[in-house]
Amino acid sequence: MRSTLEDILLPVAAVLAALLLFGLFVLLGGLNPLDVWLLLFKGAFGDSYSWQNTLQRAAPLMLTALCVAIPARAGLVVIGGEGALVLGGLATAAMAQALSSSLALSSPLTGSILVCGAAAVAGALWVMLAGWLRQYRGINETISSLLLAYVAIGLFKHLVEGPLRDPSSLNKPSTHALSEGLRIGGMAGTDVHWGLAIGVLACLAAEFWLRLTPSGFAVRVVRGNTRAAQLVGLPASRLVLLACALGGAAAGVAGGVEVAAVHNSANAALIAGYGYAGILVAFMARHSPLAVIPVAILFGGFGAAGSLLQRRLGMPDASVLVLQGMAFVLILASEALRGRRWPGWRPTSAPAAAPLAQGQP
């Protein structure tokens, strides 16, 4: 009970502290913090338009955050989600092209599942490659996944500007546009596309898997102590590869949804840094897939509010990044307070000042 309360209270307090600090920051810049706070709220969560704005920005972040969070639960620090995302987008465009030429499309839903499936497979294989290099070749997965992301972007650009290019895309090299039936639209009359639903479902499924299934539990054991996991007969390497594949699949789908719902074709605009933003989201969510959902919405809100701040107060684009950075640092720093005894928490315990003064309890 206490730890659940702490799980919620600590990050909320950290975000509030970041907002206070940001108010001080804008005060130094000569703006009224009250105006800024009001606009931040209005831009992110003020009305239905703002909510749609926030949720749409959050959708890809949920999936790319899973690409960090799931491998992290197996003890890996994978930061190359961007690579899985761009290859997922490319696979979607390529699959769409294959489908339109074969005309074997029975229904739009099957088509959407096929193109997203292609994206998931591409992303999964790419991150699995980093996992394989770690398990069988002893290469640090943080470095390899990051560098593989650059390889993926190079591959993406080569194919989009070369073999897969639509010759009519003159000044913005792109693949052929997806046919109408394969595009993913908005949910129930809103601007928010189905990527959000996919993201939320993926987060819930990942949480369920890690928490309630034997294989999910086994993955967590591998993280806790790989040697012990092997001694009790768990296939550690295969579990690591599985975690990588699931994470990569999530990022791949993020790219696929971006292509099918936003861009209509694969082109360089897909490389917008969602994979890297996902790293922040996952770390802020402490690699809990469930917590990824609210954190991604918070980040989406930062983006939406930053847009309004620029337009209303003429603040530079970087200002909302400052707020984001403050929130990130404070949330990570608040971890140091976890498990502390607070004054008045347990009236029967020793005087509160003593353990606080000694540092770690």
Partner 1 sequence: MTVQFNRRDSLKSLAALGAAGTLGGWASLAQAQKPITVGVIYVGPRDDYGYNQAQAEAAAMLKKMPGVKVVEEENVPETAAVQKSMTGMIAQDGASLVFPTSFGYFDPHMLAVAAKYPDARFAHCGGMWTEGKHPKNTASYFGYIDECQYLNGVIAAYATKSNKIGFIAAKPIPQVLRNINAFTMGARSVKPGITCSVIFTGDWSMPVKEAEATNSMADQGIDVFTMHVDGPKVIVETAAKRGKFVCGYHASQAKLAPQAYLTGAEWNWLTAYTGFIEAARSGKPHPNFVRGGLKEGFVKMSAYGPAVTDPAKKAADAIKAQMMAGKFDIFKGPLKDNKGAVVVAAGKSFKQTDIELEKMNYLVEGVLGSF
275 binds partner 1 (CB under 8 A): no
Tokens at 287, concatenated: 């690699």
Distance of alpha carbon 160 from the chain centroid = 25
Identify the residue among 24, 170, 232, 353 touching partner 1 (CB under 8 A).
170
Closest contact distance (angstroms) between CB of 317 and partner 1 is: 4
Give the x-and-dash track for 139-168 against partner 1 (CB under 8 A).
------------------x---x-------
Contact (Cβ atoms closer than 8 angstroms) between residue 187 and residue 59: no
CA atoms within 13 A on the CB side of 92: 38
Smallest distance, partner 1 to C-beta of residue 30, A: 19
Query: Quick one: 207 or 258, whose CB is closer to partner 1?
Result: 258
Site string for partner 1, 312-331 (x = CB under 8 A): x-x-xx--------------
Is there binding between residue 188 and partner 1 (CB under 8 A)?
no
Asked if residue 176 binds partner 1 (CB under 8 A), the reply is no
Per-residue HEC secondary structure of the chain comes to CHHHHHHHHHHHHHHHHHHHHHHHHHHHCCCCHHHHHHHHHHHHHCCHHHHHHHHHHHHHHHHHHHHHHHHHHCCCCCCCHHHHHHHHHHHHHHHHHHHHHHCCCCCHHHHHHHHHHHHHHHHHHHHHHHHHHHHHHCCCHHHHHHHHHHHHHHHHHHHHHCCCECCCCCCCCEECCCCHHHCCCECCCCCCECHHHHHHHHHHHHHHHHHHCHHHHHHHHHHHCHHHHHHCCCCHHHHHHHHHHHHHHHHHHHHHHHHHHHHCCCEHHHCCCHHHHHHHHHHHCCCCHHHHHHHHHHHHHHHHHHHHHHHHHCCCCHHHHHHHHHHHHHHHHHHHHCCCCCCCCCCCCCCCHHHHHCCCC
Q: Enumerate residues 16-55 that contact partner 1 by CB under 8 A.
A: 49, 53
| Cβ closest to partner 1, residue 73 vs residue 183 | 183
Rule CB under 8 A: say whether 348 interacts with partner 1. no
Considering only 238, 311, 338, 346, the residue that binds partner 1 (CB under 8 A) is 311
User: What would the x/- binding string for partner 1 be over residues 193 to 232, using CB under 8 A?
Assistant: ----------------------------------------
Nearer to partner 1, 130 or 320 (CB): 320
273 binds partner 1 (CB under 8 A): yes
Q: From CA 315, how far away is CA 339, in angstroms rounded?
A: 39
Give the binding-site size for partner 1 (rule: CB under 8 A). 31
Hey, how many other C-beta atoms are within 10 angstroms of the C-beta on 86? Answer: 33
Does 175 bind partner 1 (CB under 8 A)? Our answer is no
Stretch that binds partner 1, among 114-122, 125-133, 307-315, 330-338 (CB under 8 A): 307-315
The only residue of 27, 104, 197, 269 in contact with partner 1, by rule CB under 8 A: 269
Residue in 14, 26, 57, 254 binding partner 1, rule: CB under 8 A: 57
| Closest CB to partner 1 among residues 56, 324 | 56
Which part of the chain contacts partner 1 (CB under 8 A), choosing from 24-32, 61-69, 210-218, 258-266?
258-266
Q: Which residues bind partner 1 (CB under 8 A)?
A: 49, 53, 56-57, 157, 161, 170-173, 191, 258, 262-264, 267-270, 272-273, 303-304, 307-308, 310-312, 314, 316-317
